């Protein structure tokens, strides 16, 4: 009798993309969520919110905000359907303090009328898709120094010393951009994680920033931030918060 493995050998997909669950079907791009389906705080705000942010009117940790969308089309914020879908509830809750006018809010209707952003066929899109992550800067630095202990060095995210000046005679090694690419397409890349794993890491980082006095530009008392981190750790291991019912699709 032929073994199951042998009987399936001829039917295995030759193209790694064919084995991915959603990207092969031109699926809508997923929206990241917290442990129980919560939406994340926005990491990007339009330039119109800058003054309100600087004045401390917007309840958003400063360290969580990654950039300000100053592009004339506001493609990353006001002109993005994904941005409105992902952060719409939070934006409505804080409507009065964002500094947006009626004209800016009307752009939501235009953005929501656009077609949903589709997942790229070579990138992860399901919770349990294994994807590539960028090689850590400390690992790149250690290799460039001949595997010297780099823990004590000041190394930035790109693997360079904070004070280094890269000359033409000492070019920075170029590495392929593999962030969020399906790990099955890059089997030699060892830095991998699931989509849900990244969501969880970012969620608990966000929760930590919410409790950080410096990030929120306030001072209550010296140990407040430490107690906040302790609360995050307690929530992280709490079955009712960190371990919702989840079943792998396979």
CA distance 97 to 148: 50
> Are the CB atoms for 112 and 84 separated by under 8 Å?
yes
Q: How buried is residue 246: exposed, middle or buried, by Cβ count under 10 Å (0-12/13-18/19+)?
A: exposed
* pLDDT above 60: residue 18: no
Strand 44-46 and strand 67-69: pairing?
parallel
pLDDT band at 175 (very low <50, low <70, confident <90, very high): low
pTM, two decimals, is 0.70
Among the residue ranges 11-20, 132-141, 166-175, the one predicted with the least confidence is 11-20
pLDDT band at 171 (very low <50, low <70, confident <90, very high): low
Nearest to 42 by CA among 243, 224, 209: 209
Give the C-alpha distances (Å, rounded to integers) separating 96 from 42, 43, 57, 100.
16, 19, 10, 8
Q: What is the DSSP letter of 181?
A: B
H or E segment to which residue 69 belongs: strand 67-69
Nearest to 235 by CA among 195, 197, 199, 205: 205
Mean pLDDT (the chain, rounded): 80
pLDDT at 141: 86
* pLDDT above 50: residue 151: no
pLDDT band at 197 (very low <50, low <70, confident <90, very high): very high
H or E segment to which residue 67 belongs: strand 67-69
């Amino acid at each position: 009798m032929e073994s199951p493995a042998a009987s399936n050998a001829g039917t295995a997909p030759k193209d790694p993309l064919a084995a991915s669950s959603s990207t092969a079907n031109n699926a809508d791009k997923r929206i990241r969520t917290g442990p129980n389906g919560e939406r994340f705080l926005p990491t990007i705000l339009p330039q119109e919110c800058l003054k309100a942010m600087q004045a401390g009117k917007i309840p958003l940790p400063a360290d969580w905000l990654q950039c300000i969308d100053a592009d004339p089309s506001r493609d990353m914020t006001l002109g993005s359907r994904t941005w409105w879908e992902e952060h719409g509830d939070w934006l409505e809750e804080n409507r009065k303090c964002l500094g947006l006018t009626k004209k800016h809010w009307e752009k939501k209707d235009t953005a929501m009328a656009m077609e949903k952003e589709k997942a790229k066929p070579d990138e992860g899109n399901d919770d349990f898709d294994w994807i590539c992550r960028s090689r850590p800067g400390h690992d790149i630095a250690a290799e460039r120094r001949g595997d010297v202990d780099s823990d004590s060095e000041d190394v930035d995210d790109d693997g360079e010393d904070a004070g280094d000046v890269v000359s033409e005679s000492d070019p920075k090694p170029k590495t392929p951009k593999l962030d969020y690419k399906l790990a099955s397409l890059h089997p030699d890349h060892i830095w991998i994680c699931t989509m849900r794993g990244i969501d969880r890491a970012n969620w608990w980082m966000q929760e930590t920033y919410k409790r950080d006095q410096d990030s929120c530009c306030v001072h209550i008392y010296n140990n407040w931030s430490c107690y906040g981190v302790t609360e995050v750790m307690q929530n992280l291991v709490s079955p009712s918060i960190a371990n919702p019912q989840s079943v792998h699709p396979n």
